[in-house]
A = this chain, B = another copy of it.
């Protein structure tokens, strides 16, 4: 079903994509397409992208990840990027890159919790 190698699982009402191998330009773009199709297919209202496994994120890949979040948002789905390593965060900030349009959290659990909060504050208090 998926063109890329990154597993995208449905957990509860949420999609969980765990990136375990370094992304190059091609695999990052394939991932973006897969994730959007998965949202359409599963009608999930939340997406967690786990990048704990990434030791390096260049600006191209960072842009693809944030763009994916913005695209998901246009489709009606909130995205949380989790597990960014300190070195990755430091590099991105030094390069003047901000992850505008996506939420961030420490790990998958926190990301799931954040999505639940966003959802309940949207659905009624």
Residues of A within 8 A of B (CB): 32-33, 36-37, 39-40, 43, 45, 67, 70-77, 82, 84-86, 88-90, 92-94, 98-99, 101, 104-107, 110-111, 113-114, 116-117, 120-125
A88 to chain B: which residues have CB within 8 Å?
74
Q: Is the interface of A mostly helix, strand, loop or mixed?
A: helix
Give A86 to B125 CA distance when docked, in angstroms. Answer: 30
Option from B40, B70, B82, B122 in Cβ contact (under 8 Å) with A114 = B122
A36–B89 touching, CB < 8 Å:
yes
A-B contact pairs, 21 of them (CB 8 A): A33-B86, A36-B86, A40-B86, A45-B106, A67-B93, A67-B94, A70-B98, A71-B86, A71-B92, A72-B89, A74-B88, A74-B89, A74-B104, A75-B85, A75-B86, A75-B106, A76-B82, A76-B111, A77-B106, A98-B101, A117-B124
